[in-house]
Structure 1
């Protein structure tokens, strides 16, 4: 038997780095072989678990600079059978790659939209007139610049080594502590950890519709570390709400979720899980 672990490919993406690190964590708990399964989009990565093409998937959910990766939230809501197994926190450094010899000769920059946004201030300052073209992943961009010295890409230092591309600039992300949260999702529910993610819709768009659910957590002194709204796509002005809550008392948390069900239209608990920061020492071994 083997465990198939899906991630946004191709080789060299930040998601692959997170997947490789998680594969090492898995290797300490199982004797089964772990096979990485690259996918061409974040949605396909998550869907591959629902269709049983993969056992687990690693998908980005939030960046410290640019906020939520909304396609992950939307896809998880649509595929209610999926559960969060664990959260990984990965430092995200960006470098500027090109076959050109200087920044002055660059007129086009390719990368994933998140990477472009995370380096927006550097791009505006260093290359104010450059054309920015989004790609499905940071490493997909690398194939587009290999034969064109007037183009460049933003990717990880690891990708630069893997694809043997010259680095024209390092540490170009706008904030030095740039990091991304990744969720590991699977079909089996997890009930251990100090964090729960849930999503819900409210019965009607009326005053107090959101306050009542939030008051439940406040009354039980349960801390909410994150709240995010997404459109229901049924009509303008209707929203779904995603919440991360910290678990300190399982009994109080269970009471809160039971009470929450009486104030929501649809309630989905995506999983209880632990958070694992990925240290630079682990990443340097990948």
Structure 2
């Protein structure tokens, strides 16, 4: 809602594959998938599916992480609490004090936890309070994490990348030979052409003894012809280069 505005309709689904399926069937214009948080990254787990699904990266959303208890029943009626593995451990102390008799159950995603909280009597979900409105759940308690939960990063994906602004980023998939200096040679092209690199993460490669694959975020928009020429120079130092998308440079954590 913070990215698209209050008029956007949100449809919770279970997992990245379901998001891609909704987009492929044109049931939704955009999808939102997790890229990770301040503790761990999800790029390696999710971006291969984005590339194979022929979707574009259209934006990045960064949010401060706070966990809430969401449900349709009253807090005193909660018998089961569902949450993803990253959420429940951060909230166990609060749950032990305020919901001592409730059983905690790990599920694969926040959307699954919220769906179960909606469907099952006496069930609640531990998730960000932003899930409450689209899932039609009540906030039974807020900011229940024992320790600061940090921040979360999400990717907006769709068929079309947004137009240029005065401050953009471009995400690329970079494959180089797995040899000493292979990555350094490629990144040297960016340095010589004064292209700022803001993020780089390794991705799993099928032939890891021969190739190494990286997710790279650089300054500029793919529609900029000057950046295009620089990327062509970079391409000559790689065995594969794919533009995943361009989007306005993410602001500070909201």
TM-score tier after normalising by the smaller chain length:
0.7 to 0.9
Match of 1:23 in 2: 4
Match of 1:185 in 2: 157
Structure 2 unmatched runs, 5+: 97-102
Deviation at 1:36, TM superposition (A): 3.9
Structure 2 CA distance for partners of 1:265 and 1:58, relative to 1, 3 Å: same
Instruction: Give the distance between the partners of 2:146 and 2:212, measured in 1 at CA.
Output: 32
Match of 1:77 in 2: 51
Q: Is the 8 A contact 2:36 2:152 kept in 1?
A: yes
Instruction: Give the distance between the partners of 1:159 and 1:170, measured in 2 at CA.
Output: 14
Match of 2:100 in 1: none
> Of the candidates 244, 248, 252, which is equivalent to residue 274 of structure 1?
248
Match of 2:60 in 1: 87
Aligned residue for 2:182, secondary structure, equals coil
Deviation at 1:61, TM superposition (A): 1.9
Q: Is the 8 A contact 1:59 1:183 kept in 2?
A: yes
Structure 1 unmatched runs, 5+: 1-19, 28-33, 281-286
Equivalent residue pairs, number: 240
Match of 1:206 in 2: 179
Match of 1:147 in 2: 122
Instruction: Give the distance between the partners of 2:221 and 2:28, measured in 1 at CA.
Output: 33
Aligned residue for 2:234, secondary structure, equals helix
Instruction: Give the distance between the partners of 2:117 and 2:251, measured in 1 at CA.
Output: 28
Match of 1:64 in 2: 38
Deviation at 1:216, TM superposition (A): 1.2
Aligned residue for 2:66, secondary structure, equals coil
Tell me the TM-score normalized by structure 2: 0.73
Tell me the TM-score normalized by structure 1: 0.66
CA RMSD of aligned residues (A): 3.8
Structure 2 CA distance for partners of 1:115 and 1:38, relative to 1, 3 Å: same
Aligned residue for 1:200, secondary structure, equals strand
